[in-house]
């Protein structure tokens, strides 16, 4: 290890900083949210959906029937609402990013200042210590046992010793020791600038949900072409309606095929999720993390800083050696005073023992999570004599487990106290350990240091929430296993006796997965073991969230499905986590998980509505088109498309549009599962077929025959009989579609009942009020046709109810036959089948 470096570079002067700023040599960082306002506007205006609707609106405008172009307002609504919500989310992200960003300590004019990373300039001297992220590329100018982990850049897990003159890359982080480096590359030239930009973007990609919706939209886009051709051929050449009426019929057939609000609702749900989490001081570094949170079924929580407060109190120093060369309290105060980056334990010691002796370090061995101890060799300033080589660390690592001192330490630790051991060696602490030993030289225990940990008052409620939601919690810590078990037991989780010592864990992934899944608390876990435990859980198809705040959690945070870091944690931990709890409250996590479930569950609900509409629109167009061709061949009356564009527009207002918006923002706590597209199609396709068949049956039964256009009238107006037939057909379609809404909205609450009743009531007014009948080209005066419509609707409603009861049971049975990986999946499948009753 490197000895302390005495050089102290004062850093740049104010004039030198000003010159570099003027020259543009500043660490200018990309927009935290990844998109400017203009980017958001373009992304929401120039969409595939808007392009399709825009073309269809232009066709309607050509016919001159602008009332039939009312669906064009969807372009404005889709773009406007999407822009507002994403800009709002962007501002939330930007504000939180300022709070949660790493603030490097920079020397200027000989004074150390904490600055935002975008104020660092070329040649700045930046101080670093354990847990700090390297914010810009540079060359080391000072080093005290400085070890840097570059695994996030190179994939090499072993820390790299950095001496003065060595190069450090942004994106790496310090695992031990401290020092300072000179910035040699800033802004876009720094290695991590690209990584930070990618990790912080407000993005809607890389998620099963988004990719599933994109797949559905691609299929729909291809369906529009043959459906449009078939409809225009039927309208123009078979029914001979004329070019304008034919175009309107084609548009009426194609508009409902476009799930115009699905992408909008997805964007809104994600954006609102960001804002809601932001209100709870939760920074979302990667937006797809919200989706991942909905699928979490295992939470791996670090003990210190998560279940317990970061702060500690020195309770007792219990001497072990009869007559040590120096009082243990004096040694502890010296160790704390000369630790450049004290952790919570050393801070507690420093507070209790503030009077440090006049000793100078001659050798330093910083603490690392792998070896579980640190040490300093001292020389007395007064006499110049060596005053010992002192080590402090974990008793069960430093001691023979069979020794009396180890037994005492284990007994104290089993009560939930944190126990450290102070000892001494006969060689400098930076010497190489002897074979079979964890410390250099002959180790002599001196005193047990007893620290009290305070359990977070909200930890129990948080753990109970996860238990209710069937989310398994694994407490993973570097502390003594019995101590971890005792703390967890006080919160109703595990016990000291069942706590697993990670030094005994198997290395085989399959065996490790079995141990981790069956265990609850784990102690003495090394950073590489945390990572291995996460991967083992993932190998059994678990979706794992990892919480942590220290540099020892970085690798596990990075590999977990969702990494959650505490805002007060190390900058390295915050940089790799997808979620940062800026308020440092473990109790915020249930709200984070709940928000993810709300977003994904609601998007799945509204997807059922939109895709049901797409399916019945495609089927109705095909049925009418094929029916027209068959009728032409048989010499029967032509079968024109029953609706005008205004009819399909109003049919979506209260069956999909407004209800979908409300449902997308509603509470929803069901854990999401994989297979989004399959589940949605299993419900939407049967429901769409039922709606389409019911509407087509009504139309065939009430079809008055003829071309459908009033002779001698406006080319875009239907004849009175055709208008009555269209009205009856629309009644059937809307009635069954409203019932689909009622099924999707289950389980009911008072506001859902009001929503469904209001939707049905709105259509009663539209069909009964003369003003709306005239405005929307309806005629409900023919009760012979209306009775056919209501009968078909009743049959369709019964069929929808049957599907809603049968399909979930079939899916649940199939999932169980496929042997779900854990009991919570089985419970979810069973609950899904029961929830329909």
Whether 302 is catalytic: yes
Per-state percent for the chain, helix, strand, coil, to nearest 5: 55, 15, 30
Alpha carbons 36 and 45: distance in angstroms, whole number? 14
Which residues lie closer than 8 Å to 80 by C-beta, 6 or more apart? none
**End-to-end Cα, the chain, rounded Å:** 68
Catalytic residue among 302, 430, 549, 553: 302
CA distance 348 to 326: 20
Distance between CA atoms of residues 144 and 377, nearest Å: 13
Euclidean distance between CA atoms 113 and 111, whole angstroms: 6
**E-assigned strands of 371-471?**
373-380, 386-393, 418-425, 444-455
Cα 799 to Cα 266: distance, rounded to the nearest angstrom: 29
With vertex at residue 463, the alpha carbon angle to CA 459 and CA 468, rounded to the nearest 5 degrees, is: 150
34: left (phi over 0), alpha (psi -120 to 50) or beta: left
Instruction: Give yes or no for a contact between 759 and 741, defined as CB atoms under 8 angstroms apart.
Output: yes
Residue 717 buriedness (CB in 10 A; 0-12 / 13-18 / 19+):
middle
Tell me the C-alpha to C-alpha distance, in Å, between residue 174 and each of 130, 137, 171, 339, 367: 5, 14, 10, 15, 12
Chain length of the chain: 837
How far is it, in rounded angstroms, from Cα 705 to Cα 595?
A: 54
3-class SS of residue 304: strand
The answer to whether 743 touches 804, Cβ cutoff 8 Å, is: yes
Map residue 247 onto helix, strand or coil.
helix
Q: Which of 786, 779, 741, 776 is nearest to 760 (CA)?
A: 741
Those residues with Cβ within 8 angstroms of residue 63's Cβ, 6 or more apart along the chain or in another chain: 244, 245, 247, 248, 715, 716
What are the residues whose beta carbons fall under 8 Å from the beta carbon of 397, sequence distance 6 or more?
Answer: 371, 372, 373, 438, 524
Cβ(140)–Cβ(153) below 8 Å: no
Q: How far apart are CA 783 and CA 741, in angstroms?
A: 26
Residue 131, both tokens: 């847990």
Looking at 570-675, list the stretches that DSSP marks H as alpha helix, in order from N- to C-terminal side: 571-576, 589-634, 645-652, 658-664
Instruction: Assess contact for 652 and 691: CB atoms under 8 A.
Output: no
Give the alpha-carbon dihedral of 430, 432, 434, 440, to 10 degrees.
0
Q: Distance between CA 425 and CA 434 in Å, rounded?
A: 12
243-to-62, 462, 715 alpha-carbon distances in Å: 10, 65, 9
* Per-residue burial over 106-130, b = 16 or more CB atoms within 10 Å of its CB, e = otherwise: bbbeeeeeebebebbbbbbbbbbbb
- Which of these, 536, 497, 543, 538, lies nearest to 520 by C-alpha position? 497
Burial 780-798 (b: 16+ CB within 10 A, else e): bebeebbebbbebbebbbe
Asked if residue 553 lies in contact with residue 287, where contact means CB atoms within 8 angstroms, the answer is: no
What is the per-residue DSSP string for 191-216? Answer: HHHHHHHHHT-----SSHHHHHHHHH
| Residue recorded with tokens 């209260």 | 654
Active site residues: 302
């Amino acid at each position: 290890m490197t000895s302390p470096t005495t050089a102290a570079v004062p850093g740049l002067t104010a004039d030198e900083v000003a010159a570099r700023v003027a020259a543009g040599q500043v660490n200018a960082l990309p927009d935290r949210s990844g998109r400017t306002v203009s980017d958001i506007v373009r992304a929401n205006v120039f969409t595939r959906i808007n392009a399709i609707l825009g073309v269809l609106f232009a066709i309607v405008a050509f016919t001159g029937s602008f009332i039939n172009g009312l669906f064009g307002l969807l372009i404005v609504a889709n773009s406007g609402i999407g822009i507002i919500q994403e800009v709002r989310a962007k501002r939330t992200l930007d504000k939180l990013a300022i709070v949660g960003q790493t603030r490097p300590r920079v020397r200027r004019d000989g004074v150390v200042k904490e600055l935002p990373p975008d104020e660092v300039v070329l040649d700045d001297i930046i101080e670093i210590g354990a847990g700090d992220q390297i914010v810009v590329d540079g060359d080391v100018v000072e080093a005290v046992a400085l070890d840097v982990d570059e695994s996030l850049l190179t994939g090499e897990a072993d820390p790299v010793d950095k001496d003065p003159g060595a190069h450090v890359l942004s994106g790496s982080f310090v695992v031990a020791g401290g020092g300072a480096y000179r910035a040699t590359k800033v802004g876009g030239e720094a290695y991590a600038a690209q990584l930070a930009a990618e990790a912080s973007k407000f993005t809607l990609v890389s998620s099963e949900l988004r990719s599933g919706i994109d797949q559905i939209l691609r299929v729909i886009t291809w369906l529009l072409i043959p459906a449009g051709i078939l409809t225009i051929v039927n309208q123009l050449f078979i029914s001979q309606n004329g070019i304008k009426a034919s175009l309107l019929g084609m548009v009426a057939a194609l508009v409902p095929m476009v799930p115009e609000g699905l992408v909008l609702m997805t964007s809104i749900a994600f954006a609102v999720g960001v804002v809601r989490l932001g209100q709870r001081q939760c920074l979302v570094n990667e937006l797809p993390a919200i989706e991942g949170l909905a699928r979490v079924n295992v939470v791996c929580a670090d003990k210190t800083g998560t279940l317990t407060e970061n702060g500690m109190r020195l309770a007792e120093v219990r001497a072990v050696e009869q007559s040590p060369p120096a009082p243990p309290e004096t040694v502890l105060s010296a160790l704390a005073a000369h630790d450049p980056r004290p952790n919570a334990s050393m801070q507690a010691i420093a507070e209790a023992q503030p009077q440090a002796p006049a000793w100078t370090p001659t050798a330093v061995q910083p603490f690392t999570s792998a070896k579980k101890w640190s040490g300093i060799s001292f020389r007395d300033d007064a006499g110049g004599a060596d005053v010992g080589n002192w080590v402090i660390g974990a008793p069960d690592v430093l001691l023979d487990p069979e020794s009396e001192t180890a037994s005492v330490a284990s007994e104290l630790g089993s009560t939930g106290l944190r126990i450290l051991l102070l000892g001494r060696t006969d060689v400098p602490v930076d010497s190489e350990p002897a074979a079979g030993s964890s410390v250099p030289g002959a180790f002599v225990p001196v005193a047990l240091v007893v620290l009290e940990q305070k359990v977070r008052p909200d930890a129990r409620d948080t753990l109970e929430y996860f238990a209710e939601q069937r989310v398994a919690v694994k407490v993973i810590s570097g502390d003594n296993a019995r101590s971890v078990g005792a703390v967890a037991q006080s919160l109703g989780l595990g016990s000291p006796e069942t706590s697993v010592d990670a030094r005994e864990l198997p290395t085989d992934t399959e065996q490790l997965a079995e141990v981790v899944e069956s265990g609850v608390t784990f102690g003495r876990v090394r950073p590489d073991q945390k990572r291995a435990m996460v991967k083992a859980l993932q190998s059994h198809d678990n979706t794992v969230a990892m919480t942590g705040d220290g540099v020892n959690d970085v690798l596990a945070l990075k590999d977990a499905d969702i990494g959650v870091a505490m805002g007060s944690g190390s900058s390295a931990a915050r940089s790799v986590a997808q979620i940062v709890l800026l308020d440092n409250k473990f109790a915020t996590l249930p709200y984070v998980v709940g928000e993810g479930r709300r977003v994904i569950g609601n998007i799945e609900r509204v997807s059922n509505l939109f895709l049901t509409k797409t399916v019945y629109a495609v089927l109705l167009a095909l049925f009418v088109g094929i029916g027209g061709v068959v009728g032409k061949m048989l010499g029967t009356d032509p079968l024109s498309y029953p609706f005008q564009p205004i009819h399909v527009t109003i049919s979506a207002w209260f069956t999909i549009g407004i209800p979908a918006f409300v449902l997308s923002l509603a509470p929803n706590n069901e854990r999401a599962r994989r297979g989004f597209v399959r589940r949605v199609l299993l419900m939407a396709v049967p429901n769409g077929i039922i709606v389409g068949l019911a509407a087509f049956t009504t139309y065939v039964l009430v079809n008055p025959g003829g071309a459908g256009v009033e002779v001698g009238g406006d080319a875009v107006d239907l004849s009175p009989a055709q208008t009555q037939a269209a009205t009856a057909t629309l009644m059937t379609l809307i009635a069954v579609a409203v019932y689909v809404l009622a099924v999707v909205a289950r389980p009911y609450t008072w506001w859902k009942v009001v929503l469904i009743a209001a939707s049905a009531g709105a259509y009663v007014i539209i069909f009964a009020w003369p003003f709306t009948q005239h405005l929307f080209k309806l005629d409900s005066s023919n009760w012979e046709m209306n009775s056919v419509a209501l009968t078909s609707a009743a049959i369709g409603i019964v069929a929808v109810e049957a599907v809603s009861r049968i399909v979930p049971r079939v899916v649940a049975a199939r999932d169980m036959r496929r042997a779900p990986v854990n009991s919570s999946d089985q419970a979810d499948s069973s609950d899904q089948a029961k929830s329909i009753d």
